[in-house]
């Protein structure tokens, strides 16, 4: 393993998708110990089909962070890099509901009273599935 004192330190945000069979295992805890990383849980969620979703901030030696991501992938955790924020552009939104169906966390929901789609930022785990699903490109990635 690389000595952090001699290495380039990097901070990285990642979205981790844990399959159902891995949700209860202390994988993140083991990973940060093994690769000597600092971490911060930014968001955590379990979806309807019991997949675990975790948005993590990581800091450590660049090579160690890369090795840690490979460690997760080898265990069956899907790793997605993250460096942005998601915004619903209401001026563009036609309230078609396509994003509501695809959003894994309920961050996009149809209000039955107004028939408008609302975005609950605090539930968003920045997976970007809604970006491709939105026909008028009303879901935007902001840096």
Binding site for ligand SF4 (CB under 6 A): 86, 88, 93-99, 102-103, 105, 107-108, 117, 124-130, 133-134, 136, 138-139
**Count H helices, E strands: the chain?**
4, 8
What Cα–Cα distance (Å) separates residue 20 from each residue in 51, 133, 139?
5, 25, 28
Residue listed under structure tokens 């490979």: 70
Taking the complex as a whole, the smallest distance from the CB of residue 112 to ligand SF4 amounts, in Å, to: 14
Taking the complex as a whole, the smallest distance from the CB of residue 98 to ligand SF4 amounts, in Å, to: 4
Q: 69 vs 125, which CB is nearer to ligand SF4? A: 125
Taking the complex as a whole, the smallest distance from the CB of residue 96 to ligand SF4 amounts, in Å, to: 4
Taking the complex as a whole, the smallest distance from the CB of residue 101 to ligand SF4 amounts, in Å, to: 9
DSSP state of 7: S
Q: 58 vs 138, which CB is nearer to ligand SF4? A: 138
Token readout for 82 is 């993250």
Catalogue the E-assigned strands of the chain.
9-18, 38-46, 52-61, 78-82, 85-88, 108-111, 116-119, 139-142
Q: 65 vs 103, which CB is nearer to ligand SF4? A: 103
């Amino acid at each position: 393993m690389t000595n952090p004192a001699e290495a380039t330190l990097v901070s990285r945000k990642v979205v981790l998708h844990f399959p159902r069979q891995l949700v209860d295992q202390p994988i993140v805890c083991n990973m940060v110990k093994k690769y000597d990383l600092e971490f911060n849980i930014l968001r955590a969620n379990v979806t309807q089909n019991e997949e675990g979703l975790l948005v993590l901030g990581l800091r450590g030696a660049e090579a160690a962070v890369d090795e840690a991501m490979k460690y997760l992938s080898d265990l069956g955790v899907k790793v997605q890099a993250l460096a942005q924020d998601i915004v619903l552009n209401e001026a563009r939104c036609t309230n078609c509901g396509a994003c509501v169906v695809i959003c894994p966390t309920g961050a996009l929901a149809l209000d039955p009273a107004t028939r408008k789609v609302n975005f609950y930022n605090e539930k968003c785990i920045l997976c970007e599935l809604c970006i491709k699903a939105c026909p008028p490109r009303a879901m935007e990635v902001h840096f």
